[in-house]
Chains A and B, each alone.
Chain A
Amino acid sequence: MGMTIAEKILAAKAGKDSVKPGELIMARIDVALANDVTAPLAIKAFEDVGAEDVFDRERIALVPDHFTPNKDIKAAQQAKMVREFAYKYWIKWYFEVGRVGIEHALLPEQGIVVPGDLVIGADSHTCTYGALGAFATGVGSTDLGCAMATGEVWLKVPYTLRFNIEGKKRPYVTGKDIILHIIGMIGVDGARYRAMEFGGSVIRELCMDERFTICNMAIEAGGKTGIIEPDDITKEYVKERAQREPVYYTSDEDASYEKVYDVDISNLEPVVALPHLPENVKPVREVNDIEIDQVVIGSCTNGRITDLRQAAEVLKGRKVHPRVRLIVIPATQKIWEQAMEEGLFKIFVEAGAAISCPTCGPCLGGHMGILAEGERAVATTNRNFVGRMGHPKSEVYLASPYVAAASAVAGRIAHPDEL
Protein backbone atom coordinates (compact mmCIF):
# COMPACT_ATOMS: atom_id res chain seq x y z
CA MET A 1 0.00 0.00 0.00
CA GLY A 2 1.37 3.41 -0.96
CA MET A 3 1.61 6.44 1.29
CA THR A 4 0.56 10.06 1.04
CA ILE A 5 3.16 12.83 1.26
CA ALA A 6 2.05 13.51 4.85
CA GLU A 7 2.51 9.85 5.82
CA LYS A 8 5.93 9.69 4.12
CA ILE A 9 7.26 12.68 6.03
CA LEU A 10 5.93 11.36 9.35
CA ALA A 11 7.37 7.90 8.70
CA ALA A 12 10.78 9.38 7.92
CA LYS A 13 10.76 11.51 11.07
CA ALA A 14 9.64 8.59 13.24
CA GLY A 15 12.45 6.43 11.80
CA LYS A 16 10.00 3.96 10.28
CA ASP A 17 9.52 2.47 6.83
CA SER A 18 5.84 3.25 6.89
CA VAL A 19 3.09 4.62 9.11
CA LYS A 20 -0.68 4.19 9.09
CA PRO A 21 -3.42 6.68 9.96
CA GLY A 22 -4.36 6.45 13.62
CA GLU A 23 -0.89 5.31 14.69
CA LEU A 24 0.75 7.22 17.57
CA ILE A 25 4.37 8.08 16.80
CA MET A 26 7.24 9.83 18.51
CA ALA A 27 8.87 11.94 15.80
CA ARG A 28 11.99 14.08 15.41
CA ILE A 29 11.21 17.68 14.50
CA ASP A 30 13.14 19.88 12.09
CA VAL A 31 11.93 23.24 13.34
CA ALA A 32 10.11 24.38 16.48
CA LEU A 33 8.45 27.79 16.40
CA ALA A 34 6.83 30.10 18.94
CA ASN A 35 5.79 33.76 19.05
CA ASP A 36 5.53 36.47 21.70
CA VAL A 37 2.12 35.21 22.89
CA THR A 38 2.89 31.48 23.04
CA ALA A 39 6.63 31.45 23.81
CA PRO A 40 6.34 32.67 27.42
CA LEU A 41 4.28 29.60 28.39
CA ALA A 42 6.60 27.39 26.32
CA ILE A 43 9.62 28.77 28.14
CA LYS A 44 7.92 27.99 31.42
CA ALA A 45 7.32 24.40 30.26
CA PHE A 46 10.94 24.18 29.10
CA GLU A 47 12.11 25.23 32.54
CA ASP A 48 9.61 22.98 34.33
CA VAL A 49 10.92 19.83 32.61
CA GLY A 50 14.36 20.64 33.97
CA ALA A 51 16.06 21.00 30.59
CA GLU A 52 19.62 22.27 30.67
CA ASP A 53 19.80 23.29 27.04
CA VAL A 54 17.74 23.44 23.87
CA PHE A 55 17.94 20.43 21.56
CA ASP A 56 19.41 22.49 18.71
CA ARG A 57 19.77 26.27 18.72
CA GLU A 58 19.64 26.33 14.89
CA ARG A 59 16.26 24.64 14.72
CA ILE A 60 14.27 26.91 16.98
CA ALA A 61 12.54 30.05 15.75
CA LEU A 62 11.22 32.67 18.17
CA VAL A 63 9.27 35.29 16.29
CA PRO A 64 7.77 38.17 18.28
CA ASP A 65 5.10 39.21 15.79
CA HIS A 66 1.72 39.26 17.54
CA PHE A 67 1.75 42.26 19.87
CA THR A 68 4.90 43.89 18.49
CA PRO A 69 6.00 46.66 18.33
CA ASN A 70 5.02 46.17 21.96
CA LYS A 71 1.45 47.35 22.38
CA ASP A 72 1.48 47.82 26.15
CA ILE A 73 3.57 47.15 29.23
CA LYS A 74 2.39 43.58 29.70
CA ALA A 75 3.13 42.74 26.06
CA ALA A 76 6.55 44.35 26.47
CA GLN A 77 7.23 42.12 29.49
CA GLN A 78 6.32 39.04 27.49
CA ALA A 79 8.52 40.11 24.56
CA LYS A 80 11.36 40.72 26.99
CA MET A 81 11.02 37.24 28.42
CA VAL A 82 11.27 35.76 24.90
CA ARG A 83 14.28 37.95 24.06
CA GLU A 84 16.14 36.91 27.21
CA PHE A 85 15.50 33.25 26.52
CA ALA A 86 16.69 33.67 22.92
CA TYR A 87 19.95 35.28 24.06
CA LYS A 88 20.50 32.84 26.91
CA TYR A 89 20.36 29.82 24.58
CA TRP A 90 21.83 31.52 21.48
CA ILE A 91 18.67 30.83 19.48
CA LYS A 92 19.64 31.39 15.87
CA TRP A 93 16.24 32.41 14.49
CA TYR A 94 15.22 35.18 16.84
CA PHE A 95 14.06 38.38 15.16
CA GLU A 96 13.83 41.86 16.62
CA VAL A 97 11.39 44.56 15.51
CA GLY A 98 12.86 46.02 12.32
CA ARG A 99 13.86 42.53 11.15
CA VAL A 100 10.86 40.55 12.32
CA GLY A 101 7.92 39.62 10.11
CA ILE A 102 4.76 37.60 10.56
CA GLU A 103 6.08 34.14 11.40
CA HIS A 104 4.38 32.16 8.64
CA ALA A 105 5.51 34.56 5.94
CA LEU A 106 8.97 34.99 7.47
CA LEU A 107 10.08 31.37 7.92
CA PRO A 108 9.53 30.25 4.32
CA GLU A 109 10.92 33.54 2.98
CA GLN A 110 14.13 33.09 4.96
CA GLY A 111 14.40 29.41 4.01
CA ILE A 112 14.24 28.36 7.66
CA VAL A 113 11.56 25.81 6.80
CA VAL A 114 12.29 23.65 3.75
CA PRO A 115 10.38 20.94 1.86
CA GLY A 116 10.30 17.59 3.64
CA ASP A 117 10.50 19.14 7.11
CA LEU A 118 8.43 18.24 10.15
CA VAL A 119 7.60 21.53 11.82
CA ILE A 120 5.65 22.20 14.98
CA GLY A 121 4.69 25.69 15.96
CA ALA A 122 2.90 27.14 18.93
CA ASP A 123 0.57 28.90 16.55
CA SER A 124 -2.37 27.31 14.80
CA HIS A 125 -1.43 28.70 11.37
CA THR A 126 1.82 26.73 11.36
CA CYS A 127 0.05 24.55 8.78
CA THR A 128 0.99 27.25 6.23
CA TYR A 129 4.36 25.56 5.50
CA GLY A 130 2.57 22.60 3.99
CA ALA A 131 2.61 24.65 0.79
CA LEU A 132 6.33 23.82 0.59
CA GLY A 133 5.69 20.09 0.87
CA ALA A 134 6.49 20.01 4.58
CA PHE A 135 4.38 18.51 7.38
CA ALA A 136 3.66 21.45 9.64
CA THR A 137 1.15 21.62 12.44
CA GLY A 138 0.11 23.84 15.30
CA VAL A 139 0.57 22.74 18.90
CA GLY A 140 0.26 24.38 22.30
CA SER A 141 2.98 25.95 24.37
CA THR A 142 3.63 22.91 26.58
CA ASP A 143 4.19 20.71 23.53
CA LEU A 144 6.49 23.35 22.10
CA GLY A 145 8.40 23.91 25.33
CA CYS A 146 8.99 20.17 25.72
CA ALA A 147 10.03 19.90 22.07
CA MET A 148 12.57 22.69 22.53
CA ALA A 149 14.13 20.44 25.17
CA THR A 150 13.86 17.06 23.45
CA GLY A 151 13.62 17.76 19.72
CA GLU A 152 10.69 15.39 19.47
CA VAL A 153 6.92 15.36 19.63
CA TRP A 154 4.19 12.74 19.90
CA LEU A 155 1.76 12.80 17.01
CA LYS A 156 -1.15 10.77 15.79
CA VAL A 157 -0.80 10.03 12.08
CA PRO A 158 -3.80 11.71 10.46
CA TYR A 159 -6.03 10.41 7.70
CA THR A 160 -5.61 12.42 4.53
CA LEU A 161 -8.37 14.14 2.56
CA ARG A 162 -7.42 14.84 -1.05
CA PHE A 163 -8.78 17.92 -2.85
CA ASN A 164 -8.40 17.95 -6.64
CA ILE A 165 -8.98 21.51 -7.76
CA GLU A 166 -9.82 21.66 -11.46
CA GLY A 167 -11.39 24.08 -13.94
CA LYS A 168 -10.61 27.55 -15.16
CA LYS A 169 -10.30 30.40 -12.70
CA ARG A 170 -12.56 33.38 -13.30
CA PRO A 171 -11.19 36.93 -13.04
CA TYR A 172 -10.31 38.02 -9.49
CA VAL A 173 -10.56 34.47 -8.11
CA THR A 174 -7.56 33.77 -5.86
CA GLY A 175 -6.20 31.10 -3.54
CA LYS A 176 -8.22 32.80 -0.79
CA ASP A 177 -11.49 32.28 -2.65
CA ILE A 178 -10.58 28.65 -3.29
CA ILE A 179 -9.85 27.84 0.34
CA LEU A 180 -12.90 29.78 1.59
CA HIS A 181 -15.01 27.87 -0.93
CA ILE A 182 -13.64 24.56 0.39
CA ILE A 183 -14.25 25.55 4.02
CA GLY A 184 -17.78 26.60 3.07
CA MET A 185 -18.21 23.21 1.42
CA ILE A 186 -16.94 20.94 4.23
CA GLY A 187 -17.48 23.20 7.27
CA VAL A 188 -15.22 24.40 10.07
CA ASP A 189 -14.78 20.84 11.34
CA GLY A 190 -14.91 19.11 7.96
CA ALA A 191 -11.21 18.22 8.15
CA ARG A 192 -10.91 17.82 11.92
CA TYR A 193 -7.75 15.81 12.74
CA ARG A 194 -7.15 15.33 8.97
CA ALA A 195 -4.35 16.28 6.63
CA MET A 196 -5.75 18.25 3.70
CA GLU A 197 -3.79 17.52 0.53
CA PHE A 198 -4.42 20.03 -2.26
CA GLY A 199 -3.70 19.16 -5.88
CA GLY A 200 -5.06 19.35 -9.39
CA SER A 201 -4.34 21.61 -12.34
CA VAL A 202 -5.47 24.81 -10.60
CA ILE A 203 -3.06 24.30 -7.70
CA ARG A 204 -0.21 23.46 -10.08
CA GLU A 205 -0.62 26.87 -11.74
CA LEU A 206 -0.80 28.89 -8.51
CA CYS A 207 2.22 30.87 -7.34
CA MET A 208 3.72 30.03 -3.93
CA ASP A 209 2.06 33.02 -2.23
CA GLU A 210 -1.42 31.77 -3.10
CA ARG A 211 -0.48 28.22 -2.14
CA PHE A 212 0.59 29.51 1.28
CA THR A 213 -2.83 31.17 1.65
CA ILE A 214 -4.59 27.88 0.93
CA CYS A 215 -2.54 25.77 3.36
CA ASN A 216 -2.69 28.55 5.96
CA MET A 217 -6.44 28.15 6.32
CA ALA A 218 -6.50 24.34 6.60
CA ILE A 219 -6.87 24.88 10.36
CA GLU A 220 -10.08 26.80 9.68
CA ALA A 221 -11.59 23.50 8.53
CA GLY A 222 -10.13 21.80 11.60
CA GLY A 223 -7.22 20.31 9.64
CA LYS A 224 -4.01 19.11 11.25
CA THR A 225 -2.13 20.36 8.23
CA GLY A 226 -2.61 21.52 4.67
CA ILE A 227 -0.10 20.12 2.24
CA ILE A 228 0.82 20.49 -1.44
CA GLU A 229 3.19 18.19 -3.29
CA PRO A 230 6.28 20.15 -4.34
CA ASP A 231 6.83 20.87 -8.05
CA ASP A 232 9.00 23.18 -10.18
CA ILE A 233 7.31 26.26 -8.73
CA THR A 234 8.21 25.06 -5.22
CA LYS A 235 11.78 24.26 -6.24
CA GLU A 236 12.21 27.67 -7.87
CA TYR A 237 10.98 29.35 -4.66
CA VAL A 238 13.21 27.28 -2.41
CA LYS A 239 16.35 27.47 -4.58
CA GLU A 240 17.69 30.82 -3.42
CA ARG A 241 16.42 30.54 0.15
CA ALA A 242 16.90 27.10 1.67
CA GLN A 243 19.09 27.12 4.77
CA ARG A 244 19.19 23.31 4.71
CA GLU A 245 18.93 20.62 2.04
CA PRO A 246 15.28 20.13 1.05
CA VAL A 247 13.75 16.68 0.58
CA TYR A 248 10.99 16.48 -2.00
CA TYR A 249 8.26 13.96 -1.17
CA THR A 250 5.19 13.22 -3.26
CA SER A 251 2.19 10.96 -2.68
CA ASP A 252 2.25 7.47 -4.18
CA GLU A 253 -0.17 6.64 -6.98
CA ASP A 254 -1.76 4.02 -4.76
CA ALA A 255 -1.79 6.15 -1.62
CA SER A 256 -4.89 5.74 0.45
CA TYR A 257 -7.15 8.73 1.08
CA GLU A 258 -10.02 8.82 3.51
CA LYS A 259 -11.96 10.83 0.97
CA VAL A 260 -11.28 12.48 -2.38
CA TYR A 261 -13.04 15.72 -3.27
CA ASP A 262 -13.15 16.80 -6.91
CA VAL A 263 -13.73 20.53 -6.87
CA ASP A 264 -14.49 22.32 -10.15
CA ILE A 265 -13.97 26.05 -9.67
CA SER A 266 -15.02 27.15 -13.15
CA ASN A 267 -18.14 28.79 -11.75
CA LEU A 268 -16.55 30.10 -8.58
CA GLU A 269 -16.86 33.87 -8.08
CA PRO A 270 -14.97 35.92 -5.47
CA VAL A 271 -16.43 35.13 -2.04
CA VAL A 272 -16.57 36.45 1.51
CA ALA A 273 -17.00 34.57 4.78
CA LEU A 274 -19.66 36.23 6.89
CA PRO A 275 -19.51 36.49 10.70
CA HIS A 276 -18.93 34.54 12.86
CA LEU A 277 -17.49 31.42 11.25
CA PRO A 278 -15.18 30.98 8.24
CA GLU A 279 -17.67 28.47 6.81
CA ASN A 280 -20.34 31.15 6.24
CA VAL A 281 -19.20 31.66 2.66
CA LYS A 282 -21.22 33.67 0.14
CA PRO A 283 -20.46 35.10 -3.32
CA VAL A 284 -19.54 38.79 -3.03
CA ARG A 285 -22.38 39.77 -5.36
CA GLU A 286 -24.98 38.36 -2.96
CA VAL A 287 -23.86 40.51 -0.02
CA ASN A 288 -22.63 43.70 -1.71
CA ASP A 289 -25.03 45.97 0.15
CA ILE A 290 -23.24 45.55 3.49
CA GLU A 291 -21.61 48.83 4.55
CA ILE A 292 -18.21 48.70 6.26
CA ASP A 293 -16.00 50.84 8.50
CA GLN A 294 -12.55 49.31 8.09
CA VAL A 295 -10.49 47.18 5.73
CA VAL A 296 -7.36 45.26 6.74
CA ILE A 297 -5.02 43.87 4.10
CA GLY A 298 -2.32 41.76 5.70
CA SER A 299 -1.77 38.78 8.07
CA CYS A 300 -0.11 35.38 7.68
CA THR A 301 -2.93 34.54 5.29
CA ASN A 302 -2.68 37.42 2.81
CA GLY A 303 0.15 39.80 3.65
CA ARG A 304 2.60 38.68 0.94
CA ILE A 305 3.81 40.57 -2.12
CA THR A 306 1.29 38.92 -4.45
CA ASP A 307 -1.50 40.04 -2.12
CA LEU A 308 -0.24 43.61 -2.01
CA ARG A 309 0.09 43.68 -5.80
CA GLN A 310 -3.49 42.48 -6.16
CA ALA A 311 -4.74 45.15 -3.76
CA ALA A 312 -2.73 47.83 -5.57
CA GLU A 313 -4.15 46.72 -8.93
CA VAL A 314 -7.62 47.62 -7.66
CA LEU A 315 -6.62 50.75 -5.72
CA LYS A 316 -4.55 52.35 -8.47
CA GLY A 317 -5.96 55.79 -9.28
CA ARG A 318 -8.85 55.32 -6.84
CA LYS A 319 -9.65 56.68 -3.38
CA VAL A 320 -10.66 54.88 -0.22
CA HIS A 321 -14.27 55.70 0.70
CA PRO A 322 -14.38 58.72 3.06
CA ARG A 323 -16.01 56.68 5.84
CA VAL A 324 -13.54 53.77 5.63
CA ARG A 325 -10.12 53.19 7.24
CA LEU A 326 -7.83 51.08 5.07
CA ILE A 327 -4.87 49.52 6.88
CA VAL A 328 -2.21 47.72 4.82
CA ILE A 329 0.24 45.48 6.69
CA PRO A 330 3.07 43.93 4.66
CA ALA A 331 3.93 40.64 6.37
CA THR A 332 7.73 40.95 6.46
CA GLN A 333 10.42 43.62 6.11
CA LYS A 334 11.43 42.15 2.77
CA ILE A 335 7.88 42.34 1.46
CA TRP A 336 7.69 45.89 2.82
CA GLU A 337 10.83 46.87 0.93
CA GLN A 338 9.67 45.13 -2.23
CA ALA A 339 6.28 46.85 -2.11
CA MET A 340 8.00 50.19 -1.67
CA GLU A 341 10.36 49.59 -4.57
CA GLU A 342 7.56 48.45 -6.86
CA GLY A 343 5.65 51.67 -6.19
CA LEU A 344 2.79 49.94 -4.40
CA PHE A 345 3.09 52.23 -1.37
CA LYS A 346 2.57 55.29 -3.56
CA ILE A 347 -0.68 53.73 -4.77
CA PHE A 348 -1.80 52.91 -1.22
CA VAL A 349 -0.90 56.30 0.20
CA GLU A 350 -2.50 58.22 -2.66
CA ALA A 351 -5.64 56.15 -2.19
CA GLY A 352 -5.71 57.21 1.46
CA ALA A 353 -4.49 54.02 3.18
CA ALA A 354 -2.33 53.68 6.28
CA ILE A 355 0.70 51.40 5.96
CA SER A 356 1.88 49.54 9.05
CA CYS A 357 5.11 47.77 9.88
CA PRO A 358 4.84 43.95 9.89
CA THR A 359 2.68 42.67 12.76
CA CYS A 360 -0.24 40.30 13.34
CA GLY A 361 -1.82 43.34 15.02
CA PRO A 362 -5.54 43.65 14.29
CA CYS A 363 -6.04 40.11 12.91
CA LEU A 364 -6.42 38.74 16.43
CA GLY A 365 -7.64 41.97 17.97
CA GLY A 366 -4.21 42.82 19.35
CA HIS A 367 -3.59 46.38 18.23
CA MET A 368 -3.21 48.60 15.10
CA GLY A 369 -6.87 48.64 14.12
CA ILE A 370 -9.30 47.42 16.78
CA LEU A 371 -13.01 47.60 16.03
CA ALA A 372 -15.55 49.47 18.18
CA GLU A 373 -19.00 48.16 19.07
CA GLY A 374 -21.13 47.69 15.97
CA GLU A 375 -18.29 48.25 13.51
CA ARG A 376 -17.67 46.06 10.47
CA ALA A 377 -14.43 45.17 8.75
CA VAL A 378 -13.51 43.38 5.57
CA ALA A 379 -10.19 41.66 6.20
CA THR A 380 -7.84 39.42 4.27
CA THR A 381 -7.21 37.62 7.57
CA ASN A 382 -8.29 34.13 8.60
CA ARG A 383 -10.90 34.24 11.39
CA ASN A 384 -14.16 36.07 11.87
CA PHE A 385 -15.06 34.72 15.32
CA VAL A 386 -17.02 36.81 17.83
CA GLY A 387 -14.74 39.59 19.09
CA ARG A 388 -11.83 38.49 16.92
CA MET A 389 -10.84 42.03 15.85
CA GLY A 390 -12.14 43.95 18.82
CA HIS A 391 -15.51 44.52 20.47
CA PRO A 392 -17.63 41.36 20.89
CA LYS A 393 -20.34 43.17 18.91
CA SER A 394 -18.10 44.01 15.96
CA GLU A 395 -18.01 41.98 12.73
CA VAL A 396 -15.30 40.63 10.44
CA TYR A 397 -15.86 39.57 6.82
CA LEU A 398 -13.05 37.47 5.34
CA ALA A 399 -12.06 38.06 1.73
CA SER A 400 -9.24 38.19 -0.81
CA PRO A 401 -7.02 41.26 -1.31
CA TYR A 402 -8.94 42.10 -4.52
CA VAL A 403 -12.28 42.14 -2.72
CA ALA A 404 -10.87 43.89 0.34
CA ALA A 405 -9.42 46.68 -1.82
CA ALA A 406 -12.63 47.03 -3.84
CA SER A 407 -14.65 47.18 -0.62
CA ALA A 408 -12.38 49.91 0.78
CA VAL A 409 -13.16 52.06 -2.27
CA ALA A 410 -16.89 51.30 -2.36
CA GLY A 411 -17.47 51.66 1.40
CA ARG A 412 -19.35 48.39 1.29
CA ILE A 413 -18.57 44.79 0.37
CA ALA A 414 -17.79 44.95 -3.34
CA HIS A 415 -16.59 42.93 -6.32
CA PRO A 416 -13.73 44.67 -8.17
CA ASP A 417 -15.90 44.63 -11.31
CA GLU A 418 -18.36 47.01 -9.67
CA LEU A 419 -15.92 49.89 -9.44
Chain B
Amino acid sequence: MEIRGKAWKFGDHIDTDVIIPARYLNTSDPYELAAHCMEDADPEFVKKVSKGDIIVAGENFGCGSSREHAPIAIKYAGVSCVIAKSFARIFYRNAINTGLPIIEAPDAVDRIEEGDEIEVFLEEGKIINHTKKEEYSFEPLPEFMMKLLTSGGLIPFVRERLAKKGA
Protein backbone atom coordinates (compact mmCIF):
# COMPACT_ATOMS: atom_id res chain seq x y z
CA MET B 1 0.00 0.00 0.00
CA GLU B 2 1.40 3.37 -1.02
CA ILE B 3 1.33 6.04 1.66
CA ARG B 4 2.27 9.46 0.42
CA GLY B 5 0.82 12.92 0.92
CA LYS B 6 0.91 16.29 2.60
CA ALA B 7 1.27 16.58 6.37
CA TRP B 8 -1.48 18.14 8.51
CA LYS B 9 -0.25 18.88 12.02
CA PHE B 10 -2.22 18.63 15.27
CA GLY B 11 -1.23 18.90 18.94
CA ASP B 12 -1.32 16.55 21.95
CA HIS B 13 -4.37 14.66 23.26
CA ILE B 14 -6.49 14.95 20.11
CA ASP B 15 -9.59 13.23 21.47
CA THR B 16 -12.26 11.21 19.70
CA ASP B 17 -14.86 13.95 20.28
CA VAL B 18 -12.69 16.28 18.22
CA ILE B 19 -12.03 13.63 15.54
CA ILE B 20 -15.76 12.93 15.17
CA PRO B 21 -18.16 14.77 17.51
CA ALA B 22 -20.85 12.59 19.13
CA ARG B 23 -23.58 14.74 17.59
CA TYR B 24 -22.83 12.96 14.30
CA LEU B 25 -22.82 9.43 15.73
CA ASN B 26 -26.44 8.85 14.83
CA THR B 27 -25.12 7.31 11.60
CA SER B 28 -22.56 4.64 10.73
CA ASP B 29 -22.20 5.78 7.13
CA PRO B 30 -18.45 6.25 6.57
CA TYR B 31 -18.82 9.15 4.12
CA GLU B 32 -21.23 11.05 6.37
CA LEU B 33 -18.79 10.57 9.25
CA ALA B 34 -15.87 11.67 7.07
CA ALA B 35 -17.68 14.92 6.23
CA HIS B 36 -17.23 15.98 9.89
CA CYS B 37 -13.70 14.66 10.47
CA MET B 38 -11.68 16.88 12.88
CA GLU B 39 -14.47 19.46 12.74
CA ASP B 40 -14.10 20.82 16.27
CA ALA B 41 -10.33 21.23 15.88
CA ASP B 42 -10.40 22.69 12.36
CA PRO B 43 -13.82 23.17 10.69
CA GLU B 44 -12.09 23.54 7.29
CA PHE B 45 -10.08 20.33 7.55
CA VAL B 46 -12.24 18.15 5.30
CA LYS B 47 -12.23 20.84 2.61
CA LYS B 48 -8.46 21.19 2.68
CA VAL B 49 -7.37 17.56 2.95
CA SER B 50 -6.51 15.64 -0.24
CA LYS B 51 -6.51 11.91 -0.82
CA GLY B 52 -3.35 10.35 0.56
CA ASP B 53 -2.59 13.14 3.05
CA ILE B 54 -1.16 12.31 6.44
CA ILE B 55 -2.15 13.48 9.93
CA VAL B 56 0.87 14.23 12.13
CA ALA B 57 0.05 14.70 15.82
CA GLY B 58 1.52 14.76 19.32
CA GLU B 59 0.97 12.54 22.35
CA ASN B 60 -2.05 10.34 23.09
CA PHE B 61 -3.81 10.71 19.73
CA GLY B 62 -7.38 9.34 19.81
CA CYS B 63 -7.91 9.48 23.56
CA GLY B 64 -11.41 9.24 24.95
CA SER B 65 -14.24 7.23 23.50
CA SER B 66 -14.12 3.75 21.96
CA ARG B 67 -16.00 4.96 18.88
CA GLU B 68 -14.64 3.23 15.82
CA HIS B 69 -16.29 6.05 13.91
CA ALA B 70 -13.06 7.99 14.64
CA PRO B 71 -10.58 5.98 12.52
CA ILE B 72 -13.35 5.43 9.95
CA ALA B 73 -13.94 9.19 9.63
CA ILE B 74 -10.20 9.76 9.19
CA LYS B 75 -9.81 6.97 6.64
CA TYR B 76 -12.80 8.02 4.54
CA ALA B 77 -11.72 11.67 4.64
CA GLY B 78 -8.85 10.41 2.47
CA VAL B 79 -6.12 10.33 5.09
CA SER B 80 -3.68 7.51 4.34
CA CYS B 81 -1.86 7.33 7.67
CA VAL B 82 -1.62 8.92 11.13
CA ILE B 83 1.83 9.58 12.55
CA ALA B 84 1.87 10.51 16.25
CA LYS B 85 4.16 10.58 19.25
CA SER B 86 1.80 8.10 20.92
CA PHE B 87 -1.73 6.73 20.60
CA ALA B 88 -4.53 6.01 23.05
CA ARG B 89 -4.99 2.25 23.21
CA ILE B 90 -8.58 1.80 22.01
CA PHE B 91 -7.95 4.09 19.04
CA TYR B 92 -4.81 2.10 18.26
CA ARG B 93 -6.77 -1.18 18.19
CA ASN B 94 -9.57 0.35 16.17
CA ALA B 95 -7.20 1.77 13.58
CA ILE B 96 -5.50 -1.60 13.05
CA ASN B 97 -8.85 -3.42 13.04
CA THR B 98 -10.28 -1.11 10.39
CA GLY B 99 -7.09 -0.96 8.30
CA LEU B 100 -5.95 2.60 8.99
CA PRO B 101 -2.13 2.65 9.18
CA ILE B 102 -0.79 4.31 12.32
CA ILE B 103 2.81 4.98 13.28
CA GLU B 104 4.44 5.94 16.56
CA ALA B 105 7.39 8.13 15.63
CA PRO B 106 8.09 10.95 18.14
CA ASP B 107 11.24 12.20 16.38
CA ALA B 108 9.53 12.42 13.02
CA VAL B 109 6.64 14.36 14.56
CA ASP B 110 9.06 16.96 15.91
CA ARG B 111 10.73 17.42 12.52
CA ILE B 112 7.74 17.35 10.16
CA GLU B 113 6.06 20.68 9.47
CA GLU B 114 2.58 21.29 8.13
CA GLY B 115 2.52 20.95 4.36
CA ASP B 116 5.65 18.79 4.10
CA GLU B 117 5.41 16.02 1.51
CA ILE B 118 5.70 12.74 3.43
CA GLU B 119 6.10 9.16 2.30
CA VAL B 120 5.81 6.18 4.64
CA PHE B 121 7.20 2.66 4.25
CA LEU B 122 5.36 0.61 6.88
CA GLU B 123 7.28 -2.64 6.73
CA GLU B 124 10.70 -1.00 6.49
CA GLY B 125 9.92 1.36 9.36
CA LYS B 126 10.96 4.36 7.27
CA ILE B 127 9.49 7.84 6.73
CA ILE B 128 10.81 10.12 3.98
CA ASN B 129 10.22 13.85 4.18
CA HIS B 130 10.51 14.87 0.50
CA THR B 131 10.17 18.60 1.30
CA LYS B 132 12.99 18.67 3.84
CA LYS B 133 14.99 15.84 2.19
CA GLU B 134 15.10 13.97 5.50
CA GLU B 135 14.56 10.40 6.57
CA TYR B 136 13.22 9.14 9.90
CA SER B 137 12.92 5.63 11.22
CA PHE B 138 10.35 4.00 13.47
CA GLU B 139 9.70 0.61 15.04
CA PRO B 140 7.49 -1.33 12.58
CA LEU B 141 4.29 -2.87 13.96
CA PRO B 142 4.59 -6.29 15.62
CA GLU B 143 4.13 -9.08 13.09
CA PHE B 144 0.64 -10.02 14.26
CA MET B 145 -0.65 -6.49 13.93
CA MET B 146 1.08 -5.91 10.61
CA LYS B 147 -0.67 -9.02 9.34
CA LEU B 148 -4.03 -7.69 10.51
CA LEU B 149 -3.37 -4.33 8.91
CA THR B 150 -2.13 -5.56 5.56
CA SER B 151 -4.90 -8.13 5.25
CA GLY B 152 -7.43 -5.29 5.61
CA GLY B 153 -8.16 -5.43 9.32
CA LEU B 154 -9.55 -7.89 11.82
CA ILE B 155 -12.49 -9.11 9.74
CA PRO B 156 -10.58 -11.21 7.16
CA PHE B 157 -8.50 -12.66 10.01
CA VAL B 158 -11.57 -13.74 11.99
CA ARG B 159 -13.36 -14.98 8.88
CA GLU B 160 -10.44 -17.33 8.32
CA ARG B 161 -10.48 -18.47 11.96
CA LEU B 162 -14.20 -19.20 11.80
CA ALA B 163 -13.82 -21.10 8.52
CA LYS B 164 -11.09 -23.27 10.06
CA LYS B 165 -13.28 -24.05 13.07
CA GLY B 166 -16.18 -24.94 10.79
CA ALA B 167 -14.04 -27.25 8.65
- Which of B2-10, B13-21, B49-57, B114-122 lies on the face that meets chain A? B13-21
Does B46 sit at the interface, judged by CB under 8 A?
no
Report B-chain residues with C-beta under 8 Å of the C-beta of A222. Answer: 60, 63, 88-89
Q: A141 to B67, alpha carbons, bound, how many Å?
A: 7
Cβ-defined contact, B65 with A364, below 8 A = yes
In A31-71, the 8 Å CB interface with B consists of 37-38, 40-41, 44-45, 48-51, 66-67, 71
Cβ-defined contact, B153 with A142, below 8 A = yes
Does B151 sit at the interface, judged by CB under 8 A?
no
- Which of A72-80, A208-216, A262-270, A281-289 lies on the face that meets chain B? A72-80
Report A-chain residues with C-beta under 8 Å of the C-beta of B128. Answer: none
Report A-chain residues with C-beta under 8 Å of the C-beta of B27. Answer: 74, 78
Does B86 sit at the interface, judged by CB under 8 A?
yes
Q: A317 to B52, alpha carbons, bound, how many Å?
A: 61
In the complex, how many residues of chain A place their beta carbon closer than 8 angstroms to a beta carbon of chain B?
A: 50
Cβ-defined contact, B159 with A124, below 8 A = no
Cβ-defined contact, B88 with A192, below 8 A = yes
Report B-chain residues with C-beta under 8 Å of the C-beta of A102. Answer: none
Given A142-B98, A189-B88, check contact A124 B64 (CB 8 Å): yes
Give the interface size bracket for B toward A. 35 or more
Report the number of A-B residue pairs with Cβ-Cβ less than 8 Å: 138
Does A199 sit at the interface, judged by CB under 8 A?
no
Given A122-B66, A150-B161, A150-B162, check contact A45 B155 (CB 8 Å): yes
Q: A337 to B137, alpha carbons, bound, how many Å?
A: 59
Q: Which residue of B lies closest to A370 (CB)?
A: B23
In B125-158, the 8 Å CB interface with A consists of 142, 144, 153-155, 158
Cβ-defined contact, B28 with A40, below 8 A = yes
Cβ-defined contact, A189 with B86, below 8 A = yes
Task: Return the contact of A189 from the options B60, B71, B155 (Cβ within 8 A).
Answer: B60
Report A-chain residues with C-beta under 8 Å of the C-beta of B22. Answer: 37, 364-366, 388
Q: A365 to B59, alpha carbons, bound, how many Å?
A: 25
Report A-chain residues with C-beta under 8 Å of the C-beta of B13. Answer: 188-189, 277
Cβ-defined contact, B155 with A49, below 8 A = yes
Q: Which residue of B lies closest to A72 (CB)?
A: B26
Q: Which residues of B contact A (CB under 8 A)?
A: 13, 15, 17-18, 21-23, 25-28, 39-41, 59-60, 63-69, 71-72, 86, 88-90, 93-94, 97-98, 142, 144, 153-155, 158-159, 161-163
Q: Which residues of A contact B (CB under 8 A)?
A: 24, 37-38, 40-41, 44-45, 48-51, 66-67, 71-72, 74-75, 78, 121-124, 126, 138-143, 146, 149-150, 154, 188-189, 192-193, 219, 222, 224, 277, 364-366, 383, 385-388, 392
